[in-house]
Structure 1
Amino acid sequence: MDFGRLITAMVTPFDAELQIDWKQVEGLIDYLVEEQQSDALVISGTTGESPTLTDQEKLKLFDFSVKYAAGRCKIIAGTGSYDTAHSIHLSKEAEKLGVDGILLVAPYYNRPSQEGLYQHFKAIAESVSIPAILYNVPGRTSVNISAETTIRLSQISNIVATKECTGTSQMTSVIAGAAEGFRLYTGEDSMALPTMAVGGYGVISVASHVVGKEMKSMINAYLDGNVKEAAALHGKLLPILEGLFCAPNPVPVKYALNSRGVHVGGVRLPLVAATEDQQQFINGLFN
């Protein structure tokens, strides 16, 4: 399964009552695939505010997105949590709905050992037949899936990739030791080009909601051997790639989308809207 180089972790559009706005889900999928050149979409990941979505909402989003995308892009379901049994349940249901793969965030808060992490991901992956992508984001989960554990997990046939939010040292170790064909994506927009430079495959991105086309150009320039051009594009994009995290994700990117006429609504508590200062800062990124 090739999920492509540029994967967008899609926000969940809400209406004025903070219920899922299905018409805007359609519009957002069209926009991300046709205008921003996303190869795949993560549905109900943490950028999609998964902690505040019910299981019923998540499953309806998976089903709706698969049917509406209709093969125009791959659909990856965010089914991971800090509860292995719950993650297995969601993953099995997502597979029935026809998603192309699942994204499994490292268990947060309960901070399992490396063996616990291995057994957690192994159990989920073995409960389905579709591809699974690990998601290692220590800054949010308070646990790091070590390079050694990721390499061990890469031997499981349907664990095909990892989304890494770590430095190039750990990423390089994973790339060097993982099973053949295992792919590493960065989850840090500002690390997209550096990650590819050390052998990573691509990026699972937030900023691609608004600069996806430009990010795709950077990736393609690098792949074509135009390293100087890719570096120049990286330098130009860097303030945006970093600036869209001036407030808790996805608050800034939802504001940026709404400002551009891509209506995705607000955020559910405990997140709150961007402040006036944050709005001015985000506006300045694009001027």
Structure 2
Amino acid sequence: MEFGRLITAMVTPFDDQGRINWDETGRLIDYLIEEQKSDSLVIAGTTGESPTLSDDEKLELFRFAVDKAGERCKIIAGTGSNNTSHSIHLTQEAEKLGVDGVLLVVPYYNKPSQEGMFRHFEAIANSTQLPIILYNVPSRTIASLSVKTTLRLAEIPNIMGTKECASLEQITLLVSSSPAGFKVYSGDDSSALPTLAVGGYGIVSVASHIVGSTMKNMMDSYLEGDVRTAASLHQQLFPIFKGLFECPDPLPNPSAVKYALQLLGHDVGGVRLPLVGPNEDEVTFIKNLITSV
């Protein structure tokens, strides 16, 4: 399965009552595919506010996205959790709905050992025919999937890649040691170009909601050997990459990108508690940031 190099971790649009806004979800899918050039979309990942979505909402989102996207891009379902049996159930239900793959986060809060993480992902992989992308994000999960454990998992046929929010050193080690066909994606927008430079494959992005087409140009330029243009575009995009998360103090994702989308005319609504929207200073910062796009 080919998911492409630019994967957008899509926000979940809400109405003013905090319910999923299906009309806007459809418009957003069209926009991300047609205007921002996303190759694939992650539905109900962290950026989609997975912790506050019910299973029924997630499954309906998967169904809706598969139908709306059609053949235009791949749909990757966020079915990972810190409960192995629950992840298996959600993955199997997503498979029935026709998704193209799943993204499985490292189990959070219960802090499993490396062997526990291996068995967790192995059990899910054995329960489905779907391609799997692992998701290592130590800042959120505390537990971190080691290079050694990732490489063990890479030997499982349907585990085809990883989204890494660890260090560039870890990405480099994975790229240099992983089997043929195993794809290493950055999960940090500001590391998209450096990841390509050390042999990684692409990016699972938040900023691509706003600057996806330019990010695609940056990656294409690098892959075509035009390193100077790629570097220039990276420098141009860097304030967006950092600003959507620092804003000017750290603002939990996806609060900033949702507000940025609203400024650009996309009625994606706010975030669900315990997340909150940007305060007055953050609003001013995001407005100034978006005017630079």
Q: 1:68-107 residue pairs with structure 2 within 5 A?
A: 68-107=68-107
> How far off is 1:21 after superposition?
0.5
1:270 alignment partner in structure 2: 274
Matched, 1:25 2:28: no
Scaled by the length of structure 2, the TM-score of the pair is 0.97
Which of 271, 282, 285 aligns to 2:286? It is 282
Q: Secondary structure at the match of 1:286?
A: helix
| Equivalence map 1:207-218=2 (5 Å) | 207-218=207-218
Displacement of 1:97 after TM fit?
Answer: 0.3
Q: Which residue of 2 aligns with 1:257?
A: 261
SS of the aligned residue for 1:161 comes to strand
- DSSP 3-state at the match of 2:67: helix
Shift, 1:60, TM fit: 0.4
User: Whole-Å Cα distance in 2 between the matches of residues 149 and 102 of structure 1?
Assistant: 19
1:184 and 1:282 map into 2 onto residues whose CA distance is 30
Q: How does 1:36-185 map to 2 (within 5 A)?
A: 36-185=36-185
CA distance in 2, matches of 1:241, 1:283: 15
Q: Name the CA distance, whole Å, in 2 between partners of 1:190 and 1:70.
A: 30
What SS does the aligned partner of 2:76 have?
Answer: strand
What secondary structure is seen at the aligned counterpart in 2 of 1:244? Answer: helix
User: How far apart in 2 are the matches of 1:279 and 1:199?
Assistant: 37
Percent identity over the alignment is 61
Following superposition, the deviation at residue 286 of structure 1 comes to 2.7
Partner amino acid for 1:275?
Answer: N
Aligned partner of residue 23 in structure 1, secondary structure: helix
2:260·2:290 contact (CA, 8 Å) conserved in 1? no
CA distance in 1, matches of 2:239, 2:151: 33
- 2 CA distance for matches of 1:110 and 1:177? 29
Q: Is the 8 A contact 1:152 1:178 kept in 2?
A: no
Deviations 1:97-129 (A, max 9, x none): 000000000000001000000000000011000
Give the Cα separation in 1 of the matches to 2:51 and 2:267: 21
Amino acid at match of 1:11: V
Equivalent AA in structure 2 for residue 85 of structure 1:
S
Native 8 Å contact 2:81 2:108 kept in 1: yes
| 2:47 counterpart SS class | helix
CA deviation profile, 1:45-81 (whole Å, cap 9, x unmatched) = 0100000000000000000100111111100000000
Deviation at 1:177, TM superposition (A): 1.2
Query: Structure 1: 5+ residue runs without aligned partners?
Result: none
1:13-72 Cα distance to aligned partner (Å, 9 max, x none): 000100000000100000000000000000000100000000000000000100111111
CA distance in 2, matches of 1:214, 1:2: 21
Which residue type is aligned with residue 221 of structure 1? S
Is 1:245 the equivalent of 2:249?
no
The Cα shift of 1:263 comes to 1.0
Q: Deviations over 1:209-267 (max 9, x none)?
A: 00001100100000110001100100110010010002100000000000110110010
User: Which residue of structure 2 aligns with residue 188 of structure 1?
Assistant: 188
Query: Residue type of the partner of 1:194?
Result: P
Residues 77-104 of structure 1 deviation map (CA, whole Å, 9 limit, x = unaligned): 0000000000000000000000000000
In structure 2, how many angstroms separate the alpha carbons of the residues matched to 1:52 and 1:228? 42
CA distance in 2, matches of 1:252, 1:267: 10
Q: Distance in 2 between matches of 1:156 and 1:191?
A: 27
Q: Which moved more, 1:202-211 or 1:276-285?
A: 276-285
Tell me the C-alpha RMSD between the 2 structures. Answer: 0.6
Which residue identity lines up with residue 49 of structure 1 in the other structure?
Answer: E
Give the secondary-structure state (helix, strand or coil) at the position aligned to 1:47. Answer: coil
Q: Is the 8 A contact 2:252 2:275 kept in 1?
A: yes
Q: Distance in 2 between matches of 1:207 and 1:126?
A: 33
